[in-house]
Amino acid sequence: MMKKKMIAVISALCMAGTVYVSAGNAVHAEPAQSELTDETTALQERIYCIASVSKMYSSLAVMQLVDEGKVELDAPVIKYLPDFRMDDERYKDITVRMLMNHTSGMPLGLSINHYLYEDVDSFTHDNAFDIVSGLRLKADPGEYACYNNMGFSLMEHIVENVTDMSFTDYVRNNIASKIGVDHTGTAWSLYSGDLGDTQVSLYRGCLPIEYPYEMAAGSGGIYATASDVANFGSAFFTGNDILLSDNAKTQMSARWKDDEKYESYGLGWDFVEQVRYEKENIKVMGKGGDLPYMNSCLLVAPDEQISTAVLTAGNGSSQYAGLMASALMDVALEERGKTVSDLTPTEPKITDIVPDYYKKYEGLYYISYIYSTGICRITFDGTAMYKENLGTDNALLERYKITEDGGFVRVNDSGKMTADREILYFEEKDGKIFIRTELFAVYPGLGNTLDSMYTGEKMEENPVSPSVQQRWDELSQEVFVTYNEKWTSQQYESPFYRIVTDEEFPGYIMVKNSAGVRAEKLTDEDHAGFFTSIPSSANRDLYDVEITQQTYADGTSAVSLDLSDGTRCRSADSLPVFTADIAEISLRSGEAAWYRIGEDMSGKSIAVERPDNSAVFVYNKFRELLYSTHIKDAGNTIDLPPDGYIAFIGETGGKVKIY
């Protein structure tokens, strides 16, 4: 009954789940173990973007080339990509294997224009080398594993250079066709033109807006049905040589570092060991993925020859998809006579005295984790540790009690451990102090998870001149708006950035937007850069910051917040005012026409006539999206909120008429 309950809850997210098991030499599909309905069956036959589960397709493609002797895992990437360059000379030491197990040291995750509304555009593919060329590495290649999307975009290019065919064609000819799946491909093969005889379509039943396509095919842009993905997972079964040799699969399923304190990445896999299965001597490998409105998980038990795939649409997450996939895996294992129980971690023993020894760990930390991302201050008294998030007006002081093994467990106001058991450990490495977090997370009715990873790093003092600090303090009073992404970019749903300074962390800033928070170390009045060396995926997706002066299409000269991932953001204070006398907006490729809504237009409505390749977005004074031409059935009449913003985005030569 518990398994059915779990399935029913997650189905509310608009879920398609499929289990594949072996039967002799055949592989066949079994639907999710729940009460089947016509809607359930329909969901299973819809195409979803499988997000970062796509990395398993690019990994498998490269391993096929390894099997054929065309690629060497430990050869430098530049052997296969002669156009690959970075400002940091260490890039020459990056190997193919490092791209696959996230140890390359590259800081950048994704570039601009990677999520596009119903638009198939090769910008991210064609500009990959230019995007990375000016970057510096965050670590020596091979030093530690940290989740990185860009590495798989480079793998996409390796496949193309070695085989002299597009990645899309390679997936179709060497993966999908060989396992007999009909609805697996990329946006280029499935959505760039007429769908022809395709009997399935992109699932959008839960979405109030058009669906943004993922343009980085090698890292997140494979599209498939749940049954196709589960079938793909069978390629990793022991003894199945349809796509890969057993030697290749063994290499892929080996942990990058044999130390439980680090994440258990394999080649492509998010994990190649999972505690709840390991304790039953069952090997399970998994890969999850998250995109705006699409989430996925693939689990494979190679020796038991079981593959489970769960794809969801709506406001879900790969965490929920993973819990669903685990539930399906458990059902299939139980039918084989193998029972897997939930995790029950050892209860930590709390003591009441914190030794003075821990005082040396007091100070500022950058922490990046589920419950806390940003700069915080850690202090101790004789009985507890306290963590205070800085740079926010409503942060609560969190309290932790020391345990007998030297960890600090989070407690509530009553001094009791929280249901989600979070324990922090301080560790010293190479003259630096890091925080490692063990988190036992409970999802009522769904299951639980146990994770351990490095999540924080103590910050050094960074004294800067008063003029430098003043410059960034002044910038912190402004709001910045993204202006250089394509009119179809999903980024315009949440285009606002803020710089945060605080007298509690002089010499540093935080850059905030809807995607999260990044801490930067000030260099001078116009530059700040990433500085952390947390040896885990807490250190992913880093960028440097530069303040430049730009002259915009409206003739205004103003500052631009430029990020090394290619994002360009204009100061909102410099935006012209949208007034009643504006009858036409001239569009310009690469520069959105932004306006602040003037008092004479507040609360009024306008109608627009715009060219096909354009979009309009409206936000209120709280910077929340109110209107987008990408919303389903968007009307032509637009209400303008008081003190809000309006943006017109399109291509050079186009004009929007205002009525």
Quick one: tokens of 396?
A: 């609560």
Q: Break the chain into its structural domains and give their ranges.
A: 2-335, 356-458, 462-574, 576-659
- Tokens 């991302």 label which residue? 373
Which residue in 649, 652, 655, 656 sits closest to 117, CA to CA? 649
Q: Kindly state the DSSP code that residue 575 receives in the 8-state scheme.
A: P
What's the pLDDT score for residue 529?
A: 97
Task: Give 2-335's CATH code, choosing from 3.40.710.10, 3.50.50.60, 3.30.540.10, 3.40.630.10.
Answer: 3.40.710.10
What's the pLDDT score for residue 21?
A: 76
Residues 162 and 193 sit within 8 Å (Cβ to Cβ): no
What is the C-alpha to C-alpha distance for residues 176 and 157, in angstroms, rounded to an integer? 19
What's the pLDDT score for residue 192?
A: 62
Sign, CA torsion 10/16/21/23: positive
238 SS3 class: coil
What's the pLDDT score for residue 206?
A: 45
168 SS3 class: helix
Quick one: tokens of 593?
A: 């026409």
Contacts 24+ apart (CB under 8 A), 250-256: 251/63, 251/73, 252/59, 252/63, 252/100, 253/283, 253/285, 253/302, 256/101, 256/102, 256/103, 256/145
The CATH fold assigned to 356-458 is Lipocalin (2.40.128)
- Tokens 């304790």 label which residue? 279
What's the pLDDT score for residue 369?
A: 86
What is the C-alpha to C-alpha distance for residues 31 and 16, in angstroms, rounded to an integer? 9
Amino acid at 533: S
Residues 97 and 154 sit within 8 Å (Cβ to Cβ): no
Q: Kindly state the DSSP code that residue 222 receives in the 8-state scheme.
A: E
Which residue in 187, 151, 154, 148 sits closest to 171, CA to CA? 187
What stretches in the chain show pLDDT beneath 70?
1-15, 22-44, 192-212, 371, 394
Beta bridge partners of 450: 440
What's the pLDDT score for residue 29?
A: 45
∠3-7-11 over CA atoms, to 5°?
175
Quick one: tokens of 467?
A: 């003029």
The CATH fold assigned to 576-659 is Jelly Rolls (2.60.120)
571 SS3 class: strand
Maximum distance among all Cα pairs of the chain, rounded to whole angstroms: 75
- Helical (H) or strand (E) element with 625: strand 625-628
Beta bridge partners of 605: 639
Quick one: tokens of 234?
A: 């069978």
Per-residue pLDDT tens over the stretch 333-387? 999 999 998 888 888 999 989 999 999 999 999 999 876 789 999 999 999 999 9
